[in-house]
Structure 1
Amino acid sequence: MTAAQADLQIDRPTVADGAVLWRIARDSKVLDLNSSYSYLLWCRDFAATSAVARDEGGEPIGFVTGYLRPDSPRTLLVWQVAVDETHRGRGLAAALLDGLVARTAAEHGVTAVETTVTPGNTASERLFTAFAERHGAPLEREVLFESGRFPDGPHDPEVLYRIGPLAH
């Protein structure tokens, strides 16, 4: 754990965090930006399966949003991971992901993690590959949604990363 991670406060997001999470996602310039309303709802309805990192003043500096798959409730689907630009390169995304998975494993019996990554998103590819390695879990990849499935113009395919079973 780095010094930056030792001072890190990771907890559940609240509705009051929604606007900041939207800004962090917007400023990432790599995430598909959802409406600001969706971030407010996410912080209300999926706080138990999401995490936020806070600076010394309590302001959000990074987040992971996720949900339990309805047809596979022991699988955490990670929707988005983002860290404020001024706090990148310190291992915060990995600390957030590890913390969230540990919490959801304890509270909900999570045994697997899924996410989708667009080809060329090197940061996400590294984050989830390293997560699988740290947790001694197999990683499978397959295209979940081909480019042509997206109705709103050109979109890269979304590759499903399935990590599990997790070794706790």
Structure 2
Amino acid sequence: MSHLGSIKKASELVFRKPDSEDGSEIWKLIRRCKPLDENSMYCNLLQCDHFRDTCVMVERDGELLGWISGYIAPSEPESFFVWQVAVSPDARGLGLGKRMLTHLIERDEADACTQLKTTITRSNEASWGLFRSFARSIGGELTDEAHFHEDDHFDGHAATEHMVTITFPQEARAAA
């Protein structure tokens, strides 16, 4: 039996806010999820501490399987910004990315949000697939435009990041 098969038959998934003690495990997960940018362990510690209300981790039997870091910028209180999505290679195919996104926008902290934003490079097919699927699942509209440019912002060292915006359907927000 594959490792994935054993994960699917294990106990329940636990979605929770991180604690500062989770920072190093999150850092290790991100390192296993190529080609994600590796932030410093200190960055992940701060996400767990200062931004815990807008981040989510998923565990099963104490094993970290998924992580999303995000925040609501003071300058855009209507936008929930997703910084990074990481799913353990052992847990791929369980739909964790979409389930974590749904979990986050259903939190009380996101009540005033009318849209979700993230940046994605054109070549990151997995992220495009996740966010398109998420938009369809909630009945949202997905748009994108070049935002952080390869030459202007990254000095030619990274590909252009497109700002992806998913506008939530009005009826969904009214019902919440």
TM-score (norm 1): 0.90
Deviations 1:67-104 (A, max 9, x none): 00221112100000001111111111111111111115
Letter in 2 for 1:135: I
Distance 1:128 1:44 in 2: 26
Decide whether the 8 Å contact of 1:17 with 1:60 is kept in 2.
no
CA RMSD of aligned residues (A): 2.0
What are structure 2's unaligned runs of at least 5 residues? 1-6
The residue that corresponds to 1:26 in the other structure is: 31
* 2:93 corresponds to which of 72, 89, 101: 89
Superposition deviation, residue 149 in structure 1: 2.8
Distance 2:70 2:145 in 1: 20
What are structure 1's unaligned runs of at least 5 residues? none
Q: How many residues align?
A: 164
The residue that corresponds to 1:42 in the other structure is: 47
Decide whether the 8 Å contact of 2:138 with 2:168 is kept in 1.
no
TM alignment of 1:70-149, pairs within 5 A? 70-104=74-108, 108-149=111-152
Distance 1:142 1:84 in 2: 29
The residue that corresponds to 1:55 in the other structure is: 60
Letter in 1 for 2:18: P
Distance 2:123 2:169 in 1: 26
CA distance 1:69–1:119, change in 2 (3 Å)? same
Decide whether the 8 Å contact of 1:112 with 1:164 is kept in 2.
yes
Identical amino acids, percent of aligned pairs? 34
Q: Which moved more, 1:36-45 or 1:158-167?
A: 158-167
Letter in 1 for 2:82: V
Letter in 1 for 2:146: V
The residue that corresponds to 1:66 in the other structure is: 70
Superposition deviation, residue 151 in structure 1: 4.5
Distance 2:111 2:74 in 1: 13
